[in-house]
Amino acid sequence: MKTTIAAKSTRSGGLRLNQTTVLVTILLVLALAPIVVTDSFTLHSMIMVLFFAYMATSWNFVCGYVGQLSLGHAMFNGMGGYVSVLMFTQLGLSPWLGMLFGGVLAMVTAVLIGLPTFRLKGPYFTLTMIAFAEIVRIWIENTNEFAGIPLKGAEGLIVPNRGDDFWAFQFSTKLPYYYIILSFLAVALVATAWMERSKLGFCLKAIRGDRDAAEALGVNPTFYTSLAFAISAFMTAIGGSFYAQFFRYINPERSMGLELSIDMAVMSIIGGQGTVLGPLLGAAILTPIAEIARGEFGGGLLGLHLVVYGLALMLCVLYFPKGAIEPIRKLCLRYFGGNER
Amino acid sequence: MSKSNWARSVQKVLMAGAMTAAMGSSAFAAEAVKMGCVLPLSGGSAAVGNQTKVGVEIAAKQINDAGGIKSLDGAMLEVVFADSQSKPDVGVTETERVIARENVSVLCGAFNSAVTFPATEVAERMKTPWVVVGSVKDEITERDFKYIFRINNKATYDAREQIDAMDMLKDEFGSGPKTLAMLYEGSDWGRSHAANVKVIAAERGYEIVVDEAAPPNQTDFGNQLLKIRAAKPDAVIVALYTPDHLLFTRQMMEQRLDLPFGVHSVGGGMEDPAFYKALPPEAAFYAFVQEDWQIDILKVSTDPAILSADEATKAALGYGMSAYTAQGISAVYVIADALERAKSADREALRAALAETDIQSGPALVTGYNRIKFDEQGQNTFAHGVISQNIGGERKTMWPKENRAADSTPVWPVPAWSDR
């Protein structure tokens, strides 16, 4: 095991320094961007990009590194949203605290799903996640009230307007939301970068590379994968709370639906799964493409913008099978320290 | 020789064309008024969104062909469509874009309550008037918003009208149901409708003997029909989408389940043209359907705009106007009316004019309303659905009484299957 870790760390040694610089640069640029961007629509779009980047990064935390495909992460998003909103409307608890409860609930659920399914090889984890997420969604859609909690079924939950109130997680301008999601993203990226270099990261990559070999070396695949999965679920739930507070409305169809799960996975995969910056890149490519396509073609021929989006996806898969991060990484390696985009 | 003649005539034509164009541009010098329209143009509700889009386009074309907005020197209406994909976040983003980038004066949309609810909040914050099309969620016009106006029903109106129609028929014929069964699909629409019916039925002294939510896309309604048969209700209130509504209706006919005061559907399956193509006509005989517009409006209306809109819908979609097309048409005419009175495309002026809306005639009433006037919350308090009864395969308006055609008489109570 020692030799594997040593070999990996030397191989990524040169890149690592580079990656930190790139990461800090990107975050700095994003933090300063609102000085230039004052237009509310652009800011809104940037918030959406950061939100999806955050969600894809959370997804990538387990799925990218261990090579297990989860198509049910939206369930954790929904849990975070529902718990924080319900605690706010029912108990008057600040969403800042409520989202932590949502995160813990998601974590517990993740462990309960992970422990049995990660013991199995093959597609069982993917199937279980789809099934479980769909069950939760359908249950919520059909439950108006559960143990005195008004879940409101498919109607969705409304977050009452409190005006500008930090503790209520409500702001009249978009700027605070921008910095909140940016800091979430920063934490998620730093956590991923840290994880990549920690024992957890090496174990995950070992499991991805060859599960049997890893197990033979004493790595417990179920334990490490479940641990990463729980952290990933926690992060996703926090993102769900942000979505709920930002739009002040959530419904099971969108917040827990398969489509959101797929979005998270696709952005990671297109950007480059199993890398720190890949999901961010994926979101930064795909969200604007979707938005521009919608703006240009959405009102005209029905569905044309989705075709354009689909074509963009196909091109990415054809030309960057390892993710769009790969060619950029090569460029960076060649002229180290070169600009990241 | 001939060539030069030909060239000369071409020159003439071109000159004439250029002159017309120049004249045209001077006649239409006024800047076009931009209105945004956020609709589900892809995804689950795409069929509905497209029908509304066609309605909006037809109405905008009619207004432009008739010389545009007269008080604005014949300014043309220019509609910017945006696709919400039925997703709240996409709807909000598109609303932001249309307001900030396209700089529209007014918006309409967005059918799905889940989209309209958060998207109208954006419009309110950005002080842009929004005319709600199709969304029934009560809370949309219960937030003390100043820029949001809804022409159509609230969800609670739908439930009240079904009971109103029963009360009306009871008065008219001296008999009516006392016990009701409720069968509804177990998602947003069905559940909220059932909850509303329960409250109003209790107020009016009806007893609910069966309260049954059905998961969507069932393969057999035998169980539910058995429950209804056992409870012997006088009438059943149904809220199901097309596939379930079809199966339920078919099985009910096969089992010859008699209900003395019939089936009262709140639309869904029974307002879908596809429903009637998939069933033998007698399966739906005597059923009452509550719809968001008057199905036989073309028989009672003489408004040329409405009649030509139906033709235009047929040309665009292959079938005539539906409730969704009608709502799109209505929204554009309401906006045009406000523009005429505002004499300006300014958002504030337009908001003020919309708040003063009081339409009592014209194509804006294509949905079968008698009046459009908004209360201080922006809700059109004169909105109502129209309830028709299927007589010999034709849906004839029965409620409200004022909307009935001369030859429409309800059949009440409805005959048993053995007597049909």
Classify residue A222: in a domain, yes or no: yes
Q: Once rounded to an integer, what is the mean pLDDT over residues A14-29? A: 76
- Residue A249 has its nearest CB partner, among B97, B117, B186, at B117
Q: What pLDDT score was predicted for residue A153?
A: 81
Check whether B271 has a pLDDT greater than 50. yes
d(CA A299, CA A141): 30
Asked if B144 and B278 sit in the same domain, the reply is no
CA nearest neighbour of A73 among A286, A250, A264, A222: A264
Check whether A341 has a pLDDT greater than 50. no
- Identify the residue among B45, B54, B191 best suited for mutation to test binding to A, counting A beta carbons within 10 A and taking the highest: B191
Q: For residue B257, what pLDDT band results from cuts at 50, 70 and 90?
A: very high
Q: Which of A240-254, B222-236, B261-275 is least confident?
A: B261-275
Pick B21 or A167 by higher pLDDT: A167
Tell me the pLDDT tens digit for each residue of A163-181.
888 999 999 889 999 999 9
Pick the residue from chain A with its C-alpha nearest to B47.
Answer: A302
d(CA B325, CA B56): 7
How far does Cα A32 stand from its chain's mean position? 23
Q: What pLDDT score was predicted for residue A268?
A: 92
Are A85 and A250 a contacting pair, CB within 8 Å? Answer: yes
CA nearest neighbour of B114 among A174, A80, A253, A52: A253
Tell me the pLDDT tens digit for each residue of B323-382.
889 999 999 999 999 999 999 999 999 999 999 999 999 999 998 888 999 999 999 999
Phi, psi of B263 (to 5 degrees): -100, 130
d(CA B6, CA B13): 11
- For residue B87, which residues of chain A lie inside 8 Å, CB to CB? 254, 259
d(CA B210, CA B198): 11
Q: What pLDDT score was predicted for residue B3?
A: 47
Classify residue B7: in a domain, yes or no: no
Report ipTM (2 d.p.): 0.81
Asked if B262 and B137 sit in the same domain, the reply is no
Supply the mean pLDDT for chain A: 87
N-to-C CA span, chain B: 81
**H/E segment holding residue A158:** strand A157-158
Neighbour count for residue B1 (Cβ, 10 Å): 5
Pick A326 or B164 by higher pLDDT: B164
**How crowded is the C-beta side of B45, counted as CA atoms within 13 Å?**
24
Asked if B49 and B84 sit in the same domain, the reply is yes
CA nearest neighbour of A73 among A211, A289, A292, A279: A279
Tell me the pLDDT tens digit for each residue of A177-233.
999 999 999 999 999 999 999 999 999 999 998 989 999 999 999 999 999 999 999
Asked if B105 and B213 sit in the same domain, the reply is no
Check whether A259 has a pLDDT greater than 60. yes
Tell whether B231 is within 8 A of chain A (Cβ): no
Classify residue A335: in a domain, yes or no: no
Classify residue A24: in a domain, yes or no: yes
- For residue A144, which residues of chain B lie inside 8 Å, CB to CB? 191, 195
Looking only at Cα atoms, what is the longest distance across chain A? Answer: 61
Check whether A8 has a pLDDT greater than 60. no
Classify residue A326: in a domain, yes or no: no
Domain count, chain A: 1
d(CA A281, CA A322): 13
Q: What pLDDT score was predicted for residue B1?
A: 39
Classify residue A315: in a domain, yes or no: no
Q: Once rounded to an integer, what is the mean pLDDT over residues A26-34? A: 92
**H/E segment holding residue A277:** none
> What is the percentage of chain B residues whose pLDDT exceeds 90?
63
Asked if B390 and B263 sit in the same domain, the reply is yes
Classify residue A204: in a domain, yes or no: yes
Asked if B273 and B313 sit in the same domain, the reply is no
Pick the residue from chain B with its C-alpha nearest to A38.
Answer: B100
- For residue B50, which residues of chain A lie inside 8 Å, CB to CB? 302
Amino acid at residue number A63: C
Tell whether B101 is within 8 A of chain A (Cβ): yes
**How crowded is the C-beta side of A18, counted as CA atoms within 13 Å?**
18
Asked if B211 and B313 sit in the same domain, the reply is no
Are B155 and B136 a contacting pair, CB within 8 Å? Answer: yes
Report the CATH number that the domain containing residue B227 is assigned in CATH. Answer: 3.40.50.2300
Tell me the pLDDT tens digit for each residue of A97-137.
999 999 999 999 999 999 998 888 778 899 999 999 999 99
CA nearest neighbour of B291 among B360, B216, B368: B368
Partner A, chain B 388-407, Cβ-Cβ below 8 Å? none
Beta-carbon contacts of residue B368 (< 8 Å; ≥ 6 apart): B293, B294, B297, B384, B386, B397, B403
d(CA B181, CA A302): 40
Classify residue B61: in a domain, yes or no: yes
Check whether B13 has a pLDDT greater than 60. no
Tell me the pLDDT tens digit for each residue of B115-140.
999 999 999 999 999 999 988 888 89
Q: What pLDDT score was predicted for residue B8?
A: 57
Q: What pLDDT score was predicted for residue B24?
A: 45
Check whether A241 has a pLDDT greater than 70. yes
Classify residue B111: in a domain, yes or no: yes
Q: Are strands A157-158 and B179-185 parallel, antiparallel or unpaired?
A: unpaired
Asked if B47 and B121 sit in the same domain, the reply is yes
Asked if B55 and B129 sit in the same domain, the reply is yes
For residue B68 the two structure tokens come to 């545009």
Check whether A280 has a pLDDT greater than 60. yes
Classify residue A298: in a domain, yes or no: no
Amino acid at residue number A9: S
- For residue A247, which residues of chain B lie inside 8 Å, CB to CB? 88-89, 92, 118
Beta-carbon contacts of residue B102 (< 8 Å; ≥ 6 apart): B34, B36, B80
Q: What pLDDT score was predicted for residue B29?
A: 56
For residue A288 the two structure tokens come to 């604007």
Structural domain boundaries enclosing B340: 33-153+300-373
Tell me the pLDDT tens digit for each residue of A56-71.
999 999 999 998 889 9
d(CA A73, CA A199): 24
Domain count, chain B: 2
- Residue A41 has its nearest CB partner, among B96, B189, B192, at B96
**H/E segment holding residue B150:** strand B148-150
Are B149 and B108 a contacting pair, CB within 8 Å? Answer: no
Q: What pLDDT score was predicted for residue B10?
A: 54
Tell me the pLDDT tens digit for each residue of B67-109.
999 999 999 999 999 999 888 999 999 999 999 999 999 999 8
Structural domain boundaries enclosing A179: 2-258
Q: Which of B27-31, B218-222, B394-398 is least confident?
A: B27-31
Are A73 and A266 a contacting pair, CB within 8 Å? Answer: no
Classify residue A291: in a domain, yes or no: no
Q: Once rounded to an integer, what is the mean pLDDT over residues A231-255? A: 94
Q: Once rounded to an integer, what is the mean pLDDT over residues B389-401? A: 91
Pick B380 or B48 by higher pLDDT: B380
Tell me the pLDDT tens digit for each residue of A284-300.
988 888 888 888 877 66
Cβ distance B186 to A141 less than 8 Å, yes or no, reads: yes
